[in-house]
Amino acid sequence: MDFSIKVQDDGSATWKDCLFDKKHNLYLYLYKPLSASNAKLPILYFFHGGGFCLDSHCCHCLSSALPTVVISPDYRLAPEHRLLAAMDNALSAIKWLQIQALSNNPDPWLSDGVDVDWVFTVGDFSGGNLAHHLAVKLGPRSPELSSIKVTSSSVSSIHTTSHSTLALPHLLNILAVRTFNSYLSILSSATDVEISATLNSLSPIFFFSNDT
């Protein structure tokens, strides 16, 4: 099966990659709108979907439309790496920004024109799970991350009939869903905070859901 995903570059944003986890060879991808802005831009962490099995980064339109600096990190994928590997990587990606904010020599894209008091996390599908995890882990405005303030939200999917009826050749098909469920089930408990924690203790955030 061909899992290649064509990058949709409409020329509205520029991008580059940056190594943030040398041990696991993980990169994050920074997108910045080409249109000039006098105001400081917020930062949006976007965690890609793919059932924790696939990797896809394409945030040109998102960066230019908002506008914002988008940071889309890699995370370790299944089945080679089971949860909670992806969640650990998501937190490390956020802490990379904290290091940049405290550095005397930060990444040039973050040295001027960005507002680290307005950092948002979003994701689609499995990436929404990571955004949820970070919301619970960091709490309102991320008190443990001095120098940056993170607000979490999620773009996720609620599965109904299509959850059981999707078939090939869709990219995220029923086989991929079953693969995810099979390795998720090996975790010690479905009530583990990393998997199913609620957001009751957090300040209001937005959830967007869609069905396929």
Q: Is residue 60 pLDDT above 80, yes or no?
A: yes
- Distance between CA atoms of residues 117 and 57, nearest Å: 25
Q: Is residue 78 pLDDT above 90, yes or no?
A: no
- pLDDT given at position 158: 43
Residue 7 lies in a domain: no
Residue 42 lies in a domain: yes
The predicted-structure confidence for 140-162, as pLDDT tens digits, reads as follows 666 667 667 776 554 444 445 55
Residue 170 lies in a domain: yes
Residue 152 lies in a domain: yes
- pLDDT given at position 132: 83
> Residue 201 carries which side chain, given as an amino acid letter?
S
Residue 68 lies in a domain: yes
Q: CB-based burial of residue 69 (10 Å sphere; 0-12 exposed, 13-18 middle, 19+ buried)?
A: buried
Lowest mean pLDDT among 91-95, 97-101, 111-115, 164-168: 164-168
pLDDT band at 62 (very low <50, low <70, confident <90, very high): confident
pLDDT band at 7 (very low <50, low <70, confident <90, very high): low
Question: What Å distances lie between residue 154 and 168, 170, 182, 195, CA to CA?
Answer: 27, 23, 24, 15
DSSP per residue over 128-161, as a string? HHHHHHHHHHH-TT-TTSTT--EEE-EEEE--SH
Residue 6 lies in a domain: no
Residue 3 lies in a domain: no
Q: CB-based burial of residue 65 (10 Å sphere; 0-12 exposed, 13-18 middle, 19+ buried)?
A: exposed
CATH of the domain at 59: 3.40.50.1820
* 85-110: average pLDDT: 91
Of 10-19, 72-81, 200-209, the range with the highest mean pLDDT is: 72-81
- pLDDT given at position 208: 47
- Give the domain range for residue 81: 13-210
* 85-91: average pLDDT: 93
- pLDDT given at position 82: 85
Query: How many domains would you assign to the chain?
Result: 1
Q: Is residue 28 pLDDT above 80, yes or no?
A: yes
What is the average pLDDT score of the chain? 75
pLDDT band at 171 (very low <50, low <70, confident <90, very high): low
52 or 200, greater pLDDT: 52
| Dihedrals phi, psi of 168, to nearest 5 degrees | -60, 150
